[in-house]
Structure 1
Amino acid sequence: MLIIRPITAADFAALKQIAIESGHGFTSLPVHDERLWQKIHHAEASFAADIESPGDQGYLFVLEDTSNGEIVGTTGIEAAVGLHTPLYHFQQNTVIHHSAELNVLNQLKTLTLCNDYTGASEICTLFLRESYRRNHAGRFLSKVRFLFMAEHPQRFAEKVIAEMRGATNDRGEPPFWGWLQQLFLTIEFPEADKLIGVGKKSFIAELMPRHPIYVGLLPAAAQQVIGQVHENTKPALKMLEKEGFKHRGYIDLFDAGPTVEANLTDIRSVASSRKVPVKIVEVLGESTLAVANTELKEFRASFGKQASFDETSGELLLSPAFAAALQLQDGQFARFINLDQR
Structure 2
Amino acid sequence: MFVVRPIAPSDYSALYDCAVESGHGFTSLPVDEGLLQKRIARAQEAFARPHVAEPGEEGYLFVMEETRTGAVVGCSGIEAAVGLSDSFYHYRLGHEVHQSASLDIYNAQQTLTLCNDYTGYSELCTLFLRAPYRRDMNGRVLSRFRMLFMAEFRERFSQYAIAEMRGVSDEDGNSPFWSWLQQHFFKLDFTQADYLTGIGEKTFVAELMPRHPIYVSLLPAAAQKVIGQVHENTRPALKMLQHEGFRCRGYVDIFDAGPTVEAEIENIRSVRESGRYQVHIGVVKQPTRYILCNTRVADFRALQADVELHDEQVVIAPDVAEALRVGNGDWLRAVAL
Using the size of structure 2 for normalisation, the TM-score is 0.98
Per the alignment, residue 324 of structure 1 pairs with 322
Counterpart amino acid of residue 81 in structure 1: V
Equivalents in 2 of 1:156, 1:170: separation in Å? 35
Per the alignment, residue 38 of structure 1 pairs with 38
Per the alignment, residue 286 of structure 1 pairs with 287
Equivalents in 2 of 1:177, 1:285: separation in Å? 53
Post-superposition shift, 1:101?
1.0
What do the CA deviations read for 1:7-62 (whole angstroms, capped 9, x no partner)? 01111111111111111111101110110011000000011122110000000000
Identity %: 52
Structure 1 window deviating more from structure 2 (41-50 vs 261-270): it is: 41-50
Q: Any stretches of 5+ residues in structure 1 without a counterpart?
A: none
Native 8 Å contact 1:176 1:223 kept in 2: yes
Q: Within 5 A, what are the aligned runs for 1:143-182?
A: 143-182=144-183
Q: How many residue pairs align between the two structures?
A: 336
Per the alignment, residue 230 of structure 2 pairs with 229
Post-superposition shift, 1:309?
1.3
**Partner-residue secondary structure (3-state), 1:161:** strand
Per the alignment, residue 22 of structure 1 pairs with 22
**Partner-residue secondary structure (3-state), 1:118:** coil
**Partner-residue secondary structure (3-state), 2:20:** helix
Native 8 Å contact 1:294 1:334 kept in 2: yes
Structure 1 window deviating more from structure 2 (131-140 vs 285-294): it is: 285-294
Q: Within 5 A, what are the aligned runs for 1:1-342?
A: 1-49=1-49, 50-283=51-284, 285-305=286-306, 307-311=307-311, 314-339=312-337
Native 8 Å contact 2:73 2:129 kept in 1: yes
Native 8 Å contact 2:159 2:265 kept in 1: yes
Equivalents in 2 of 1:262, 1:208: separation in Å? 28
Using the size of structure 1 for normalisation, the TM-score is 0.97
Post-superposition shift, 1:172?
3.3
**Partner-residue secondary structure (3-state), 2:88:** coil
Equivalents in 2 of 1:285, 1:233: separation in Å? 35
CA RMSD of aligned residues (A): 0.9
Post-superposition shift, 1:77?
0.1
Post-superposition shift, 1:288?
1.4
Post-superposition shift, 1:287?
2.3
Counterpart amino acid of residue 310 in structure 2: D
Post-superposition shift, 1:170?
5.0
Counterpart amino acid of residue 331 in structure 1: G
Equivalents in 2 of 1:13, 1:167: separation in Å? 28
Equivalents in 2 of 1:130, 1:308: separation in Å? 31
What do the CA deviations read for 1:118-161 (whole angstroms, capped 9, x no partner)? 00000000000111111110110010000100000000000100
Counterpart amino acid of residue 45 in structure 2: A
Post-superposition shift, 1:193?
1.5
1:228–1:293 Cα change, 3 Å:
same
1:212–1:326 Cα change, 3 Å:
same
Native 8 Å contact 1:289 1:308 kept in 2: no
Native 8 Å contact 2:92 2:112 kept in 1: yes
Native 8 Å contact 2:173 2:191 kept in 1: no
Native 8 Å contact 2:55 2:156 kept in 1: yes
Runs of 4+ aligned structure 1 residues displaced above 4 Å come to: none
Native 8 Å contact 1:80 1:120 kept in 2: yes
What do the CA deviations read for 1:197-231 (whole angstroms, capped 9, x no partner)? 11111100000011000000000000000000111
Equivalents in 2 of 1:205, 1:78: separation in Å? 22
Structure 1 window deviating more from structure 2 (196-205 vs 168-177): it is: 168-177
**Partner-residue secondary structure (3-state), 1:288:** strand
